[in-house]
Structure 1
Amino acid sequence: MGLLTDPGAGRGKLTQILVMYYNKLCVVLYIAGLVWFALLAHEHFNAGTYFSENALLPGLVKGDFDEDMTAKNYQSELLEESSRYPDSVPYPWLLAKFRQLSLDVYTHNFTLNYPLGYGTKYTGKNVYAILRAPRSASTEALVLSVPYRPPSSAHPGTMPSIALMLSLAKFFRRQKYWAKDVIFLVTEHEQLGVQAWLEAYHQTTCGRSGVLDHGDMTGRGGAIQAAINLELHAEKIGHVDVKVEGLNGQLPNLDLVNLVHRMCSKEGENSNHRDPMKEWFHQLKTLMAMVTTQATGIPNGNHGLFHRFGIEAVTLEGFEKREKGSPAVFYQLGRVMEGLFRSLNNLLERFHQSYFFYLQPTTDRYISIGMYMPPLGLLCAALLIKAFGLWLRMQKDPADSASAPAGRKGDEDIREVDKEEHSGEGDGAYSVEQQVVNFSLVPVGVAVLATHVLGVALLSAPRPFTTVGLEWGGLATETSIYVGYVVAALVMILIPLLASSIGGNMESWTLLNIVALLELATLLLAVSMHNFSLALLAATIYTPPALWMTPAKNSPLSPPPPRASNSLAILSQHSLLAINRHAPGHMTSAGTHPSHMCSLLTSSPPAHRSIRRWTILALNPPTRYDLLFRAALSPLPIFPSQPY
């Protein structure tokens, strides 16, 4: 009971040391967290990949694909046919080729009601064919998807992918071992077409009703177990990138990634994940490339939209061979795809045994969540320890409450403030004096409320920015949003003046600093459960200024007004404001990327195309695809019961 009743119980030696040295301890924790994460790229601190799902049986698959000449013929015909459709998909040719293979062929129409325009609509059509499983009742399915890009597209072409898909469909049609339906999907408008097809297939709507009219389907297969998105940019491939990052940083099951790497290695392909290297420095660069891509929350391929439906998917992107050496042609790539689908055909249940949270420094090594979370914990611990140290400096001493003047007990509290801190040569003495100070929660409450309101306003700003820009200046959607966020960022320079007009003493601003530190640390830990990379980068950027900024009393040597500058420092470190402050280039606290809202479709008017590409590069350099409006409107998975 002594700990509960002794007023001096909180002034032990450990507490005194913490109050005296918490700033140095926070710096040590921050540096230790960064060093720990950097060391994870070394092979001694990560583990080699392995298969947890034995049913895949990748070593027992023997390649029999022999339709490489057929793929070359398909590519020649498609190149000739595409010249007649410079801005659209050659639907008659695709439908005819699929029907010649005796597959169930369907088309899927969808419409996008542009959410930031006045009645603007975009239409699209997907083509898909289903190879019915001869050994089952169409209860499960696999998907092979390819985005069609016309000759006028700004993105690299994918016609070799469609040619290989058709040759695989012809080869698969002759086999009798299929226990799952195989769906061959050709989409229009990049990720928008995939999202519309998935919504129509599952008969659901992922975001705001009325924006994306996904239409209806006349034919379906079984429940989709896995999907492979294929993007080949040339007939002769030099290397294949395996893309795994999905919407809001969601990743596929590690077993699927291992399967792709194993099949590519078996056929002698130079398959890699972000160009991995053997040396630690190159492995660190590979690891950071994955972290920065995942932190954006934007899928780096059409596979990223399957994850929210509980479907494991990856993208294989092949680049043209430019160096010396033997390239990979349709024969090797066809055998890789055959091995993937035959292994997936062996699955008896959904992927569930391996990791869903991981990082990869190389193709054959991984870092599990149990290894990469402690470094982030150290970064957040620095924020929590500083908040605790500041609280100890101003904590209330109940024993002295009776000594306060009677007329001031209602509005004032007894607070401990440091009057002298010094270390003795022997035992490091520490002395504290008590004094009566004014303390008010009004400045703290006003600052916290204003910051949250500002964050919510910026999150909802794209539509008002678009309306104002169109009515007053006749600006395009992308330009209106970009200029609007730039103006909002400049207006925030006035925050010091607003903060200084609120009033309050040093103890009030110290309490605000504590609240901001606690909320920032809590938000970082919460975000790390969904997108670790975003939390890590945010912690790395915002922890140093958060540790450096501390309220201080006015003094003749302080810049005028010192209280306003310190309040600005505290307000700028608020977690919600910090992530939303430069909204055009960062993820918002709700996981919505504003640049989703300013991208146009490939079929947009030519006058807007140059503006669209310039704006996307300015707002989000990693983005290489037309972004999906639905992903911005509904960032969370619709099937929370599935692991993600």
Structure 2
Amino acid sequence: MAGLLTSVLAIRRNDRLLKTAPPYISLVCIVVGVVWLFLLPLNDYSRRTYISENALLPGQVHAYFGGSDQNVFRAYRHEIDALKNSSNIEVNDKLENILTGVGLKVGRQNYTYHSSGETYSGENLYAILQAPRGDATEAIVLVAPWRNTRGELNRSALALSLVLTRYFKRWSLWSKDIILVIPPDSRTGIQAWVDAYHDAHDPQQVAPLPLKSGALQGAVALDYPQEGRFESIHIVYDGVNGQLPNLDLINSVVNIANGQGQGSKLQQMWKHKDTYDDRLKTMLRGMVNQGLGHSTGAHSSFIPYHVDAITIQPVGQGWHDEMGLGRVVEGTFRSLNNLLEKLHQSFFFYLLMNKDRFVSIGTYLPSAMLVAANFTIMAITLWMRSGYSEEEPPATESQQPSNGASTLTDSDSKDVKVEGSDAAAATATTTKTSKPVEKDIFLPLGLVVGCHLLGALPLFVFNHTPSNLLTPVFVLFAAVNALLPHLVSRLLTPASLTTQQRRQFRQLLKSFSLLLLGMFLSTLATLNFSLALLIGTLAAPLTFTPTAHAAPAARVAYMLILNVLSPPAVIAVVATAAARYLSEGGAMGGGSVGHLLAEAAFGWRVWGLYTPLVVWCVWWPAWLVGGVVALGGGGRSSSEGMGKAKVA
């Protein structure tokens, strides 16, 4: 046992282990983590989808929707067209008369949200079809927004939802209530309704619901603004903050659509050939939506409340009509009607490669965990190194008069005494050793904590600035941000520190920062894998920030790298490059930084989006501390003689 303890202590003092090996280990973790991600589309790492909940029985019933209901659909669509220029209240008055005439209980709800100097207000309309064979303890929701995420009049979806509700009313097989919700848009209205349904709303902004049913078991939203026939359906499943519905719901809809002769698409991959490239594109598009955490449709507001939901969009030019889409919705509702409890047996954490292939969390999670682990490895290494002096030993050759005597003390504190004329030629060879020193953790720890608290400032500013001022405010912040590491390094680093103290200060500063970053990202990876992997990859250069004294040119070059990968620079790139893709998906539009920040502020206030919190209170403070470490923490040491040999 004593021998083992001695070996461990020897390893702790091994310079090769503490200086050479850890950076390479961290680099290997980053490379393996990224390479792991690109292996996922292969057959050896992905799996075929399957139905875990046998009670669903998707596609096992005959759908009767069609026939004369198509004439009713045309009549309702004519009514919707007549209301396209009417106000929200006028639209709801007309729809309420229609739903009341069918024999449903109708409720209305007002709401008002404020974000970035803009006001979002409206009135939701919803109707409840009470189950003939139920006791109002469970419900299924059908959502048909007046306008979809792209701001288009959702005319065909509204008409189809009215026809389906009328059709469902004629059947006595329902064991769960069916709720039809018609919000004025897909962003604010449905969020207000879902919050109020679960009594999680702000009474000053959202009115309570006059009517309620039981626990929500599932929800299906329709996005169908166009006329004419379609080729297949596009399933949108991404939720707020990267949350996903139970995979059984998606698999059920795919199975039902196949039974109706319809294909299904994911992540806007209209021509998926099931090749490696197409699988990778589908996966990466899903990761982009998950990492941003924004709402991708009316269904997204349900998922944070553990209500599995999707949006169905007809796409392409084919021979399927609105009755075919209605049969898909009917089959989905009848499958959900069979459930004895909420969906729970399948996966809630997954990456879809295609409609029939996915990767579970146990397979993809190591990718983000390896990237996060590299920060922890380096943090522990720096903590160990900070407890030992790394000063170079002094020259060991000393000459004294022939009639004198001198004593030379080496780094191991052993005295070598030389007398007489031989002293002029006496030499001693010493090697560099580690000497334990006391750690002063209060200053670096306080600086790291202060930087993380400082992250609340940009979070507050960008969430409360009017939308028309966001772009100039962001430009000003980016300019200040480039200078901030220099200011912090000069103002908060004491100039009286010795060379060893300055080195220890940088080591502890970097150690605490990387330790927090690794801890945050490893925790975030279990909740939002894509966001954790994205931030971990962009922050990877912080692992290799030099803590020893470096040449000015090297520090300037490293600061340039950090500035290119800083949060403001990445936000600018996302606003200009990724906004086009987001606008195609209907989630965001425009390409300006101001618009992107306005969307983030809207998500923060309305959807409970935590991506801005992670960016400004986790990633940005780590970047700021990395800049301070790279700059070296100030001027030269005031005690250059520390660590030299003493001559007695």
TM score, norm. by length of structure 2? 0.76
Contact 1:616 1:623 in 2 (8 A): no
Q: Does 1:456 align with 2:456?
A: yes
- Matched residue, 1:300: 296
Unaligned runs of 5+ in 2: 390-410, 413-430, 580-587, 613-648
CA RMSD across the alignment: 3.7
Cα drift, residue 149 of structure 1: 2.1
User: Which of 467, 488, 496 is the matching residue for 1:478?
Assistant: 467
User: Which of 519, 522, 539 is the matching residue for 2:519?
Assistant: 522
Cα drift, residue 230 of structure 1: 0.8
- Matched residue, 1:469: none
Q: Deviations over 1:39-65 (max 9, x none)?
A: 111222111111111111114221111
Give, in whole Å, the separation in 2 of the partners of 1:121 and 1:40: 43
- Matched residue, 2:146: 148
- 1:269-348 alignment to 2 at 5 Å? 269-274=262-267, 275=269, 276-319=272-315, 321-322=316-317, 326-348=318-340
Please tell me the residue identity of whatever aligns with 2:372.
C
SS in 2 for 1:356: coil
Contact 2:53 2:346 in 1 (8 A): yes
Cα drift, residue 616 of structure 1: 6.7
Identity of aligned residues (%): 29
- Matched residue, 2:230: 237
Residues 579, 558 of structure 1: CA spacing in aligned structure 2 closer, same or farther, 3 A cutoff?
closer
- Matched residue, 1:219: 211
Please tell me the residue identity of whatever aligns with 1:629.
R
Cα drift, residue 511 of structure 1: 1.8
- Matched residue, 1:427: none
Please tell me the residue identity of whatever aligns with 2:504.
E
Residues 89, 579 of structure 1: CA spacing in aligned structure 2 closer, same or farther, 3 A cutoff?
farther
Give, in whole Å, the separation in 2 of the partners of 1:227 and 1:309: 12
Q: Does 1:24 align with 2:34?
A: no
Cα drift, residue 122 of structure 1: 4.8
Residues 75, 17 of structure 1: CA spacing in aligned structure 2 closer, same or farther, 3 A cutoff?
same
- Matched residue, 2:488: 498
Q: Deviations over 1:138-161 (max 9, x none)?
A: 2211000011029xx962331100
- Matched residue, 1:79: 81
- Matched residue, 2:616: none
User: Which of 324, 345, 354 is the matching residue for 1:353?
Assistant: 345
Q: Does 1:536 align with 2:537?
A: no
Cα drift, residue 335 of structure 1: 0.9
Give, in whole Å, the separation in 1 of the partners of 2:437 and 2:611: 47
Q: Does 1:165 align with 2:161?
A: yes
- Matched residue, 2:585: none
- Matched residue, 1:134: 132
- Matched residue, 2:420: none
Contact 2:507 2:547 in 1 (8 A): yes
Give, in whole Å, the separation in 1 of the partners of 2:376 and 2:26: 9
Q: Deviations over 1:276-308 (max 9, x none)?
A: 441011100110000010111111111111122
Give, in whole Å, the separation in 2 of the partners of 1:8 and 1:94: 76
Please tell me the residue identity of whatever aligns with 2:251.
N
Give, in whole Å, the separation in 2 of the partners of 1:263 and 1:197: 28
Cα drift, residue 95 of structure 1: 1.7
Cα drift, residue 532 of structure 1: 0.9
Q: Deviations over 1:431-490 (max 9, x none)?
A: 742358796445513431331122121222246x63xxxxxxxxxx10223332332221
- Matched residue, 2:605: 629
- 1:65-76 alignment to 2 at 5 Å? 65-66=65-66, 67-76=69-78
Contact 1:579 1:586 in 2 (8 A): no
SS in 2 for 1:461: helix
Please tell me the residue identity of whatever aligns with 2:217.
Q
Give, in whole Å, the separation in 1 of the partners of 2:570 and 2:368: 23
Larger radius of gyration: 2
Give, in whole Å, the separation in 1 of the partners of 2:610 and 2:26: 37
Cα drift, residue 586 of structure 1: 8.3
Give, in whole Å, the separation in 2 of the partners of 1:621 and 1:256: 33
Contact 1:107 1:125 in 2 (8 A): yes
Residues 484, 28 of structure 1: CA spacing in aligned structure 2 closer, same or farther, 3 A cutoff?
same
Q: Does 1:487 align with 2:476?
A: yes
Residues 621, 437 of structure 1: CA spacing in aligned structure 2 closer, same or farther, 3 A cutoff?
closer
Q: Does 1:369 align with 2:361?
A: yes
Cα drift, residue 179 of structure 1: 0.6
Give, in whole Å, the separation in 2 of the partners of 1:621 and 1:164: 36
Give, in whole Å, the separation in 1 of the partners of 2:335 and 2:253: 10
Residues 173, 14 of structure 1: CA spacing in aligned structure 2 closer, same or farther, 3 A cutoff?
farther
Q: Does 1:261 align with 2:259?
A: no
SS in 2 for 1:620: helix
Q: Deviations over 1:247-271 (max 9, x none)?
A: 1111111111111111112112221
Residues 199, 389 of structure 1: CA spacing in aligned structure 2 closer, same or farther, 3 A cutoff?
closer
Give, in whole Å, the separation in 1 of the partners of 2:561 and 2:504: 13
Residues 115, 361 of structure 1: CA spacing in aligned structure 2 closer, same or farther, 3 A cutoff?
closer
SS in 2 for 1:51: coil
Cα drift, residue 28 of structure 1: 2.4
Residues 581, 264 of structure 1: CA spacing in aligned structure 2 closer, same or farther, 3 A cutoff?
same
Give, in whole Å, the separation in 2 of the partners of 1:630 and 1:624: 10
Cα drift, residue 340 of structure 1: 0.3
Cα drift, residue 237 of structure 1: 2.4
Contact 1:144 1:228 in 2 (8 A): yes
Cα drift, residue 167 of structure 1: 1.3
Give, in whole Å, the separation in 1 of the partners of 2:253 and 2:156: 19
Cα drift, residue 75 of structure 1: 1.4
- Matched residue, 2:108: 107
Residues 103, 635 of structure 1: CA spacing in aligned structure 2 closer, same or farther, 3 A cutoff?
farther
Residues 623, 341 of structure 1: CA spacing in aligned structure 2 closer, same or farther, 3 A cutoff?
farther
Cα drift, residue 90 of structure 1: 1.7
Residues 51, 622 of structure 1: CA spacing in aligned structure 2 closer, same or farther, 3 A cutoff?
farther
Cα drift, residue 514 of structure 1: 1.7
Q: Deviations over 1:65-99 (max 9, x none)?
A: 1123322232133113324x177762232122212
Contact 2:290 2:530 in 1 (8 A): yes
Give, in whole Å, the separation in 2 of the partners of 1:350 and 1:438: 57
SS in 2 for 1:75: helix
- Matched residue, 2:195: 199
Give, in whole Å, the separation in 2 of the partners of 1:585 and 1:179: 51
Please tell me the residue identity of whatever aligns with 1:559.
A
Contact 2:63 2:330 in 1 (8 A): yes
Please tell me the residue identity of whatever aligns with 1:126.
N
Cα drift, residue 631 of structure 1: 1.7
SS in 2 for 1:184: strand
Cα drift, residue 386 of structure 1: 2.8
Contact 1:68 1:334 in 2 (8 A): no
Please tell me the residue identity of whatever aligns with 2:468.
T
TM score, norm. by length of structure 1? 0.77
Cα drift, residue 216 of structure 1: 3.0
Give, in whole Å, the separation in 2 of the partners of 1:30 and 1:634: 25
Contact 2:116 2:467 in 1 (8 A): no
Contact 2:144 2:182 in 1 (8 A): yes
Give, in whole Å, the separation in 1 of the partners of 2:111 and 2:543: 51
Contact 2:462 2:601 in 1 (8 A): no
Of the structure 1 ranges 33-42 and 194-203, higher mean CA displacement relative to structure 2 is found in 194-203
Q: Does 1:510 align with 2:511?
A: no
Give, in whole Å, the separation in 2 of the partners of 1:436 and 1:346: 69
